[in-house]
Amino acid sequence: MTKLTLGTHPFLLGFEQLERLVERTAKTGNDGYPPYNIEQKTENAYRITLAVAGFSEDDLSITVEDSSLVIRGRQSEDDETRIFLHRGIAGRQFQRSFVLADGVDVGEAVMEHGLLHVDLTRSVPDSVVQTIKIKRSE
């Protein structure tokens, strides 16, 4: 018996990339830093919120690369005159990636009280019925 994978099922035409997408998503780091929330604001709007205490806007970069939203953080070197007796606030560099579906666009990003909010919107195409004309073979 032949095992069919999701991307090779005969009724799912054009979904070959889906299996690669699932594999790529599974390989992303799951270290839990920084913690984040994903919330649905409306039917077609989402917000990703990352807890980035200690990072400034200049320490963060947000890019869209190969259908993925990539958020990176890297703090500038501390002033060498600072002496910590205890350092419990994590400030290590990070990279968080979120795979975006077709039609999902990244909106604005806002820093507020140590939280980075990134808004996403999904454009929903109008439902279109298409009639295909059948030609006679000659």
Interval 89-114: pLDDT, tens: 767 899 999 989 889 999 999 999 99
Provide CB contacts within 8 A for 105, sequence distance 6+: 120, 121, 122, 123
The domains found in the chain, sorted by start residue, are 1-30 (no CATH), 32-122 (2.60.40.790)
What is the strand order of the sheet 104-112 is part of? 36-42, 45-51, 115-122, 104-112
Residues 128/103/19/37 CA torsion (nearest 10 deg): -130
Query: Quick check: 1 pLDDT over 60?
Result: no
**Residue 120 β-bridge partners:** 46, 106
Chain segment 32-43, per-residue pLDDT in tens: 889 999 999 999
What pTM does this model have? 0.73
Asked if 109 and 118 touch (Cβ cutoff 8 Å), the reply is yes
pLDDT at 28: 61
pLDDT at 126: 76
Q: How far apart are CA 43 and CA 33, in angstroms?
A: 28
Q: How far apart are CA 9 and CA 21, in angstroms?
A: 16
Query: Quick check: 130 pLDDT over 60?
Result: yes
Query: Quick check: 25 pLDDT over 80?
Result: no
